A and B are shown apart, each in its own frame.
Chain A
């Protein structure tokens, strides 16, 4: 009974005492890290993948005693795919005193957040945003991903090298900032090589008009490949509708779609689909496999590209927090950070807080991504 009592008192008193101590001593208070993503929306696959990676990274750092003795606390906001909500989330997180925000995954969301990010001056690192719109800007918004120009250019070069010359494309109107920019970069690069973007149609997945109406005109142009610039779910749906027509056209999907859900929902319709991966999912390098296994164990899922990018983002962020000198802003610390070892690549921000990812082209074979 006495031991119970002691335990009870300890259970009761310790948090109280600790909270008093923590409140009294500002340096011991946890460092809050924000996360903004569309966790319940159509593109929730990559947001969840990123969130899981951040959650894992924070748990790992905390298990090692935090950063400079301070624990990390993750504060998650779900924008449900709504740009206005995302903008509000930035204000909220800034109000809660987060040191930095990881996210978002979508350029259209990032576009809405940017004024708030600049206004609140909260360093925000997006794992996946790649729109050229954000590149070369001196602001607190950092990106892990390569630009649409780099990725789309890679697609153009790849397809052209495979003999492709005529391409049609469907792109997501909801994330137009990315998809349109991506497509334009592709078009520019592809046409420069000598190829041609015959037709491009935007679609709105939230409308009830369906995908079939989008697919039909693109197929009628008899392209040698169809390019789908959309998230995993929509890419799967589009592929399903394309294959339902019996068309055997070569399918390419922008790197955005490269999530587990694409496989889950694509079924046989995405067999042979070519997609750019920013990492080697079959890498045997210990640094990566350690992460992979931890993630697998923790979330009973395989990490995606958004997971790796988010994890790499936390690597940069935590290093900056750790190495930040007296009087130095976090932004300065990130820019002064120098190269760091990422899961599969060297990480480094340029003067505008931009970075780039490795590029691997894979295609789906029997429900798996296979390097070509």
Chain B
């Protein structure tokens, strides 16, 4: 129910305080208004009623005093002699009355008190006829005291109030006139303390006196209901509208005076008490939210301080510090929180300790497992090495033996040894591959290669196998595919599938189809933008087929279709599993369709990176035309501690026609390399005294060894190790056991590459081996420098030759060029002999001759090289090493001349 979302404590408190106060005030305020306002109204009504009555009687009492004085005048007047009456009236007038006068029964004024004001007027007033005067008439009618309404005094000519009463025995009346101002004074005295005001109103509704405002003195109020009712009923209460205001009014009629006393107090908001009450509530309404707003931050600060301590401690715990004691404050909930957190921290610490102990155990177990895994790897590596080395001996010797003269029986047995050994080697490779895959140690390479070329190199060995079994192997490749990817794994996949197909097919044919494909729907999820060159490989056989209940299991490791197959065909049963895993590693898929007795069809999709035109062109250009033939026999140094291996290698090499020297460790190899005899070294890795890697490094650091081709020999099948060998300076690595062809190819490649390189003066660089069998993987150093056109001088200076041609007849030029060719050939042979004879003088002379003759006919390159050899004639070994390069340059020169002479 969090309708307002997350908010600050302060905001919450403000909301809480403001809403609470507002709600409280609304309730309390309404209650107060509901209770208090009627109370005030009632109190006001009571107040005006009481005030009217009180004022009425108070003024009555006051005026009764005056009345008594007038009565006294009346009573004494007839006892006094006439001349004294006026004095008495003067005395009676005093300060209270304006005028006092006696009127006889006829209504004639007989005496008055205005003598002191105006003797003439006083005299004039005597005898004035007031018989029509209302007051006089009223007194006579009533026979008692009468207080007049407001009237215009005959005596003073002023508006006044009079009191009159009968004199008694002598007849007539005595009248005393009060100035109206005296009544105002009286009413002001009567003005109440409750905020009420008064009107004193005569019987005609004329306002005799009043207090407060607005003034009604100039109006006749008889039309007001309170006045009318008051005069009629002698007492009334009402709410009166007067000059746009409402008043609570009460009227009290004085019978003695004939006047109405009306007290009034403003009603509604004009009433000070109501205004005050409502005002106070309004102020509270406005003030309390403000107070809430002001107080909330303080309270929030207080609560935050308490909460802040707890959260600070919690943060401390989060940073790993355990406080000794948790804070306690005045707020129970926060204390409870603090206690809970404390307990939680203790529990956490406990759990952490348990976890630490557990993770220590786990670490130990992990270390043990890793150690065991390493041990396994080492074991595999060792086993690989230890098995391969003797296997190399077996296979090598068997091959050699097979080449000797054998009778039919012997040949059969040797052949069986050879095939059994090869099977064993295949099994070994499979096991190694599988273990690598399972260890996750298989990493894909990425290089540009010709897939079509790869296919053709794979199929050729199978072609003969198929022929042997009387099968037809049909390879169908739709185009020349050049792609970027892992050629080694691709080859391995195809190899295994083809191998299986031939293995399980007794008659009929095997089709290998390669074509570019769109992503099939079942592989769409595998489609990736970076691998956008999808190839479909189909390997179809007419073999036994796979039963439907087993077809799903054939890609699982260590399952063969049935045990009998293993027995019948041999193998580890890992081949298809390796295919599947490698395919998937490359982002592809492999599926099989099979009908028992009809055949099987393996469908492999493999994605590759598309290559640029430049890359494709480069591949075709740099594809080295490696020839297995050598222009001359090589001097090959074998560094190998294992005698069997050495014998095999020597046997192969000598079979090729090379000279062989054998040393048993790296140290001796380094020594042997110094004399410049060796054209190439076959370097075993594991040797006593100095291993192959160190030996290679040492040789590379010498002048003679800088461009010496070195081929590593190892039984280690793991590619990562091979990389280390290449980095040490080896040109290639050949995995034992190797075949005759493999050795021949590696030798040729290494020698030729290195020879070209030395001619260019570049560091050893990589070459691509497009034809190394998976059984004997060869690794090349990465190609860091691409073969650019020689930085050295061009073969010949055609421009200058043409200049000469312009000066001489064509026959002469032809003759000269023929002569130069003949001379160079002769001198080249002479130079080779001189080097062989180690005759520096002869070398110098020959080189000099070549320099001159070549330079004369503008064969610039050979001329310059000859000049260099002339200079270094003392360094026979150096010259000897440069000789191959020189020979090539010489050939170039001869070709150039030949071309020029044809023009």
Chain A residues in the interface with B (C-beta under 8 A): 1-2, 4-5, 8-9, 11-16, 19, 35, 39-40, 42, 44-45, 51-52, 55, 59, 73-74, 76-78, 205-206, 208-213, 233-234, 236-237, 240-241, 243-244, 261, 263-269, 298-301, 367
Q: Does B789 contact A (CB under 8 A)?
A: no
Across-interface contacts of A264 in B (CB, < 8 A) = 132-134, 151-152, 154
Indicate which residue in A208, A210, A267, A298 contacts B223 across the interface (CB closer than 8 Å): A298
**A212 to B820 alpha-carbon distance, docked (Å):** 186
Asked, given contacts A8-B41, A265-B152, A266-B132, whether A19 binds B223 with beta carbons under 8 Å apart, the answer is: no
Indicate which residue in B118, B120, B239 contacts A11 across the interface (CB closer than 8 Å): B239
* CB-based contact A240/B128 at 8 Å: yes
Closest to B128 in A: A240
**A77 to B215 alpha-carbon distance, docked (Å):** 11
* CB-based contact B130/A15 at 8 Å: no
* CB-based contact A299/B220 at 8 Å: yes
Across-interface contacts of B41 in A (CB, < 8 A) = 4, 8
Across-interface contacts of A74 in B (CB, < 8 A) = 219
Asked, given contacts A5-B38, A15-B269, A267-B107, whether A301 binds B133 with beta carbons under 8 Å apart, the answer is: no
Q: Does B245 contact A (CB under 8 A)?
A: yes
Q: Does B421 contact A (CB under 8 A)?
A: no
Indicate which residue in B131, B132, B159 contacts A44 across the interface (CB closer than 8 Å): B159
Closest to A45 in B: B152
Closest to A237 in B: B154
Closest to B239 in A: A11
* CB-based contact B218/A4 at 8 Å: no
Indicate which residue in B124, B152, B274 contacts A12 across the interface (CB closer than 8 Å): B274
Closest to B122 in A: A210
Closest to A239 in B: B129
B203-238: CB near A (< 8 Å → 1, else 0) gives 111000000000001111011000000000000000
Across-interface contacts of B132 in A (CB, < 8 A) = 263-268, 367
Indicate which residue in B118, B244, B245 contacts A208 across the interface (CB closer than 8 Å): B118
**A39 to B123 alpha-carbon distance, docked (Å):** 28
Across-interface contacts of A241 in B (CB, < 8 A) = 124
A-B contact list, 26 entries, CB within 8 Å: A2-B34, A5-B33, A11-B239, A11-B267, A12-B274, A13-B268, A13-B269, A15-B245, A35-B218, A39-B218, A42-B157, A76-B219, A208-B117, A212-B123, A212-B124, A233-B152, A234-B157, A240-B129, A261-B152, A264-B134, A264-B154, A265-B133, A267-B130, A298-B222, A299-B222, A367-B132
* CB-based contact A265/B154 at 8 Å: yes
Q: Does B270 contact A (CB under 8 A)?
A: yes
Closest to A261 in B: B152
* CB-based contact B38/A42 at 8 Å: no
* CB-based contact B246/A267 at 8 Å: no
Across-interface contacts of B246 in A (CB, < 8 A) = 11, 15
Indicate which residue in A11, A237, A244 contacts B268 across the interface (CB closer than 8 Å): A11
* CB-based contact B204/A300 at 8 Å: yes
**A22 to B453 alpha-carbon distance, docked (Å):** 109
Q: Does B121 contact A (CB under 8 A)?
A: yes
Across-interface contacts of A55 in B (CB, < 8 A) = 219-220, 223
B10-44: CB near A (< 8 Å → 1, else 0) gives 00000000000000000000000111011001000
Identify which of B33, B37, B218 gathers the most chain A CB atoms within 10 Å of its CB.
B218
**A240 to B133 alpha-carbon distance, docked (Å):** 13
User: DSSP majority for the A interface?
Assistant: helix
**A116 to B131 alpha-carbon distance, docked (Å):** 43
Question: Smallest distance from the beta carbon of B150 to chain A beta carbons, Å?
Answer: 9
* CB-based contact A8/B203 at 8 Å: no
B residues 240-259 near A (Cβ < 8 Å) are 243-246
Known contacts A8-B37, A13-B268, A211-B124; 4 further A-B pairs (Cβ under 8 A): A73-B243, A206-B157, A208-B117, A240-B128
* CB-based contact A243/B129 at 8 Å: yes
Closest to A364 in B: B132
7 smallest CB-CB distances across A and B, nearest first, come from A267-B129, A208-B118, A12-B268, A76-B218, A210-B120, A4-B38, A11-B268
**A298 to B120 alpha-carbon distance, docked (Å):** 40
Chain B residues in the interface with A (C-beta under 8 A): 33-35, 37-38, 41, 107, 117-118, 120-121, 123-124, 127-134, 151-152, 154, 157-159, 180, 203-205, 217-220, 222-223, 239, 243-246, 267-270, 274, 278
Identify which of A2, A206, A208, A261 gathers the most chain B CB atoms within 10 Å of its CB.
A208
Across-interface contacts of B243 in A (CB, < 8 A) = 73
Asked, given contacts A8-B37, A205-B157, A240-B129, whether A210 binds B121 with beta carbons under 8 Å apart, the answer is: yes
**A55 to B216 alpha-carbon distance, docked (Å):** 12
A-B pairs with CB below 8 Å: how many? 143
Question: Smallest distance from the beta carbon of B585 to chain A beta carbons, Å?
Answer: 89
**A125 to B563 alpha-carbon distance, docked (Å):** 142
Identify which of A16, A233, A237, A264 gathers the most chain B CB atoms within 10 Å of its CB.
A264
**A2 to B120 alpha-carbon distance, docked (Å):** 70
Across-interface contacts of B159 in A (CB, < 8 A) = 39-40, 44
* CB-based contact B133/A267 at 8 Å: yes
**A4 to B120 alpha-carbon distance, docked (Å):** 65
* CB-based contact B204/A301 at 8 Å: yes
* CB-based contact A19/B268 at 8 Å: no
Across-interface contacts of B268 in A (CB, < 8 A) = 8, 11-16
Closest to A8 in B: B37
Across-interface contacts of B34 in A (CB, < 8 A) = 1-2, 5
**A217 to B859 alpha-carbon distance, docked (Å):** 180
**A11 to B157 alpha-carbon distance, docked (Å):** 45
* CB-based contact A12/B131 at 8 Å: no
**A81 to B33 alpha-carbon distance, docked (Å):** 51
**A236 to B157 alpha-carbon distance, docked (Å):** 11
Asked, given contacts A55-B220, A299-B204, whether A210 binds B33 with beta carbons under 8 Å apart, the answer is: no
Across-interface contacts of A8 in B (CB, < 8 A) = 37-38, 41, 268, 274
* CB-based contact A267/B131 at 8 Å: yes
* CB-based contact B269/A16 at 8 Å: yes
Across-interface contacts of B128 in A (CB, < 8 A) = 237, 240, 244, 267, 269
Question: Smallest distance from the beta carbon of B260 to chain A beta carbons, Å?
Answer: 13
Across-interface contacts of A15 in B (CB, < 8 A) = 244-246, 268-270
Across-interface contacts of A212 in B (CB, < 8 A) = 120, 123-124
Closest to B218 in A: A76
Asked, given contacts A15-B268, A208-B117, whether A44 binds B152 with beta carbons under 8 Å apart, the answer is: yes
Across-interface contacts of B270 in A (CB, < 8 A) = 15
Across-interface contacts of A265 in B (CB, < 8 A) = 130, 132-133, 152, 154
Indicate which residue in B37, B117, B222 contacts A5 across the interface (CB closer than 8 Å): B37
Across-interface contacts of A40 in B (CB, < 8 A) = 158-159, 180
Across-interface contacts of B117 in A (CB, < 8 A) = 208
* CB-based contact B118/A244 at 8 Å: no
**A108 to B694 alpha-carbon distance, docked (Å):** 148
**A15 to B107 alpha-carbon distance, docked (Å):** 53
Across-interface contacts of B154 in A (CB, < 8 A) = 233, 236-237, 264-265
Question: Smallest distance from the beta carbon of B127 to chain A beta carbons, Å?
Answer: 5
Indicate which residue in B37, B158, B218, B244 contacts A77 across the interface (CB closer than 8 Å): B218
Closest to A263 in B: B132
Closest to A213 in B: B120
Question: Smallest distance from the beta carbon of A141 to chain B beta carbons, Å?
Answer: 22
* CB-based contact A268/B129 at 8 Å: yes
**A268 to B246 alpha-carbon distance, docked (Å):** 48
**A208 to B278 alpha-carbon distance, docked (Å):** 59
Across-interface contacts of A269 in B (CB, < 8 A) = 128-129
**A261 to B152 alpha-carbon distance, docked (Å):** 7
Question: Smallest distance from the beta carbon of A90 to chain B beta carbons, Å?
Answer: 16
**A261 to B35 alpha-carbon distance, docked (Å):** 55
Across-interface contacts of B157 in A (CB, < 8 A) = 42, 205-206, 233-234, 237
Question: Smallest distance from the beta carbon of B411 to chain A beta carbons, Å?
Answer: 130
**A55 to B121 alpha-carbon distance, docked (Å):** 36
**A73 to B369 alpha-carbon distance, docked (Å):** 112
Question: Smallest distance from the beta carbon of A371 to chain B beta carbons, Å?
Answer: 19
* CB-based contact A244/B127 at 8 Å: yes
Across-interface contacts of B244 in A (CB, < 8 A) = 15, 19
**A14 to B274 alpha-carbon distance, docked (Å):** 15
Question: Smallest distance from the beta carbon of B266 to chain A beta carbons, Å?
Answer: 10
